[in-house]
Amino acid sequence: MASQGLSYDGCNFFRQRLVLATLSGKRVKIKGVRSREDNPGLRDFEASFIRLLDKVTNGSRIEINQTGTVLFYQPGLLYGGSVEHDCNPQRSIGYYLEALLMLAPFMKTSLKATLRGVTNDPTDPTVDLLKSAAIPLMKQFGIDGEGFDIKVVKRGMAPGGGGEVVFKCPVRRSIKPVQLTEPGKIKRIRGVAYSVRVSPQMANRIVDSARSVLNQFLPDIYIYTDHMKGANSGKSPGFGLTLVAETLNGCFLSAEMSSTPQGQGDPVLPEDLGRNCAKLLLEEVHRGGCVDSSNQSLALLLMTLGQQDVSKVLLGPLSPYTIEFLRHIRDFFQIMFKIEVQKPLEDERKGGDKVLMTCLGVGYSNINKSIK
Amino acid sequence: TKRRKQHQQKHSGPKAEKKKAKKQRGSAEEDERKRNPKAFAVQSATRMAKTFHRAQDIKTRKHHIPLVDRTPLKPPPIVIVVVGPPKVGKSTLIRCLIKNFTRQKLGDICGPVTIVSGKKHRLTFVECNNDINTMIDLAKVADLVLMLIDASFGFEMETFEFLNICQVHGFPRIMGVLTHLDSFKNNKTLRKTKKNLKHRFWTEVYQGAKLFYLSGMVYGEYQTQEVKNLGRFISVMKFRPLVWQTSHPYVLVDRMEDLTDPDKIRTDPKCDRTVSLYGYLRGTHLKNKGQVHIAGVGDFQVSDVNFLPDPCPLPDAQKKRALNEKERLLYAPMAGVGGVVYDKDAVYIDLPASHVNQQQEVRPTTELVQSLIDTHATLDAKMAASKVSLFSGSATLDPTDISDEQEGLREKSVWDPKTQRERRKVLFTEEEEDEEDEDASGSSDDEADESVEEEDQNEDDLSTFLKEARLESTKATAGGGPPVKKQKLEEKEGEGGETEELAFADSEDELENSSEESESEGEAGRARDSGHCSEEEEEEEESDDEEEEDDDEDSEDESMEEEGSAADDMAKSESEEEAEQGMCMIRFSLNSCSDLLWKEGLQQKASEAFLRQQEAAPNLRKLVYGSGILRLQLHVHTHLQYSEEEEEELGGLFRVSRPQKSKKFQANARDCSRFNPDSSHNWDLEEMLNSIRDCFVTGKWEEGQDAATLLKEDEELYGDFEDLETGEIHKDQTGQQDEAEVDDEEVQKNKRLEKKRRLKERFDAEYDDGDATYFDDLKEEMQKQAELNRAEFEDVDDETRVQYEGFRPGMYVRLEISPLPCEFVTNFDPHYPVVLGGLGSNEGNVGYLQMRLKKHRWYERILKTRDPLILSLGWRRFQTIPLYHIEDHNGRHRLLKYTPQHMHCGASIWGPITPQGTGFLAVQSVAGTKVNFRIAATGVILDLDKSVTIVKKLKLIGYPYKIFKNTCFIKGMFSTVLEVAKFEGASVRTVSGIRGQIKKALSTPPGAYRATFEDRLLMSDIVFLRSWYPVSVPQLYNPVTSLLLPVGQKDSWSGMRTLGQLKHDLGIRNKPNTDSLYKPISRAQRHFNPLHIPNELQKALPFKSKPKQQQRKGKTPKDLQRPSVIREPHERKVMALLHALSTVKNYKRNKAHTLQHAKHKGFLQQKKKEEEAKLKRQKEAQKKLYRVMGQLDKKKQRSSLKGASQDD
Q: What is the 3-state secondary structure (H, E, C) of chain A?
A: CCCCEEEEECCCCHHHHHHHHHHHCCEEEEECCCCCCCCCCCCHHHHHHHHHHHHHEECCEEEECCCCCCEEEECCEECEEEEEEECCCCCEHHHHHHHHHHHHHHCCEEEEEEEEEECECCCCCCHHHHHHHHHHHHHHCCCCCCCCEEEEEECCECCCCCEEEEEEECCCCCECCCEECCCCCEEEEEEEEEEECCCCHHHHHHHHHHHHHHCCCCCCEEEEEEEECHHHHCCCCEEEEEEEEEECCCCEEEEEEECCCCCCCCCCCHHHHHHHHHHHHHHHHHHCCCECHHHHHHHHHHHHCECCCEEEEEECCCCHHHHHHHHHHHHHHCCCCEEEEECCCCCCCCCCCEEEEEEECCCCCCCCCCCC
Q: Which of A14, A186, A279 sits opposite B697 (nearest CB)?
A: A186
Per CB-CB distance under 8 Å, the chain B contacts of A301 are: none
Would you call A97 an interface residue with chain B, using a CB distance cutoff of 8 Å?
Answer: no
* pLDDT of the residue at B640: 36
Q: What is the pLDDT of residue B159?
A: 92
* pLDDT for B599: 46
8 Å CB contact of B301 and A2: yes
Cα gap A13→A15, rounded to integer Å: 6
Find out whether the peptide bond into B915 is cis, omega within 30 degrees of 0: no
Residues of chain B with pLDDT under 70: 1-2, 25-30, 317-321, 338-411, 416-422, 429-618, 627-666, 678-680, 703-708, 713-742, 766-772, 1110-1111, 1203-1208
How many C-alpha atoms does B1093 have within 13 Å on its Cβ side? Answer: 11
Instruction: Give the range among A117-121, A321-325, B326-330 with minimum mean pLDDT.
Output: B326-330
Main-chain phi, psi angles of B1005, to 5 degrees: -70, 155
Name residues whose C-beta falls within 8 Å of residue B428's C-beta, 6 or more positions apart in sequence: B200, B409, B410
Question: pLDDT tens for residues A358-371?
Answer: 999 998 989 888 88
Q: Is some CB atom of chain B closer than 8 A to the CB atom of A171?
A: no
* Binding-face residues of B in 434-463 toward A, CB within 8 A: none
Portion 232-291 of A in contact with B at CB < 8 A: 248, 279-280, 282-283, 285-286, 288
- Where are any strands of DSSP class E within B408-504? 410-416, 421-427
> Tens digit of pLDDT for each residue in B432-443?
545 444 444 444
pTM of the model: 0.71
Which chain B residue lies closest to A329 (C-alpha atoms)?
B625
**Best to test chain B binding among A31, A172, A221, A339 (most B CBs inside 10 Å):** A339
Q: Give A142-193 pLDDT, tens digit per residue.
A: 998 888 999 999 999 988 889 999 999 999 999 999 999 988 899 999 999 9
Cβ of A369 under 8 Å from any chain B Cβ? yes
* Contact status of B972 with chain A (Cβ, < 8 Å): no
Say yes or no for a CB contact (<8 Å) between B617 and A59.
no
Task: Give just the sign of the alpha carbon dihedral B229, B233, B234, B235.
Answer: positive
Q: How confident is the model at residue A112, as a pLDDT?
A: 95
A301 has pLDDT over 50 = yes
Question: Between residues 57 and 96 of chain A, which touch chain B (CB distance below 8 Å)?
Answer: 58-60, 76-77, 95
Cβ separation of B300 and A15 shorter than 8 Å?
no
B692–A25: do the CB atoms touch at under 8 Å?
no
CB count, 10 Å around CB of B358? 10
Contact A5 B639 (CB under 8 A): yes
> Is the Cβ pair B285, A308 closer than 8 Å?
yes
Confidence at residue A103, expressed as pLDDT on a 0 to 100 scale: 95
> Which residue does chain A place closest to B841, by CA atoms?
A24
Is the Cβ pair B694, A348 closer than 8 Å? Answer: yes
Task: State the pLDDT at residue A262.
Answer: 86
> So what's the pLDDT on residue B564?
41
User: Under an 8 A CB cutoff, do B943 and A370 touch?
Assistant: yes
- pLDDT value, residue B662: 44
- CA of A298: which chain B residue's CA is closest? B673
Minimal CA separation from A230 to chain B, in Å: 31
B613 touches chain A (CB under 8 A): no
pLDDT of residue B416: 66
Q: Is B908 on the interface with A (CB under 8 A)?
A: no
Q: Taking a contact as any Cβ pair under 8 Å apart, which residues of chain A between 297 and 326 contact chain B?
A: 297, 307-310, 317-324, 326
Distance CA A130, CA A152 (A): 11
- For position B403, what pLDDT does the model report? 41
Q: Chain B contact for A148, CB < 8 A?
A: no
CB nearest A12 (choices: B285, B671, B917): B671
CA-nearest residue of chain A to B669?
Answer: A12
CA distance A198 to chain B (A): 26
Verify whether the Cβ–Cβ distance A367 to B916 is below 8 Å.
yes
Using the Cβ of A5 and the Cβ atoms of chain B, whether some distance falls under 8 Å is answered with: yes
Chain B contacts in chain A segment 195-214 (CB below 8 A): 213
Q: Which of A58, A318, A324 sits opposite B946 (nearest CB)?
A: A58
| Chain A residues in contact with B668 (beta carbon < 8 A) | 10-12, 32-34, 37
The CA–CA distances, whole Å, from B1069 to A147, B1063, B1065 equal 62, 7, 11
Report the pLDDT value the prediction gives residue B729, as an integer from 0 to 100. Answer: 55
Report yes or no: B719 at the A interface, CB cutoff 8 Å.
no
Contact state of A321 with B672 under an 8 Å Cβ cutoff = yes
Interface of B with A in 626-665 (CB under 8 A): 635, 637-640, 643, 652-654, 664
Q: What is the mean pLDDT of residues A214-235?
A: 91
- The predicted pLDDT at position B542 comes to 43
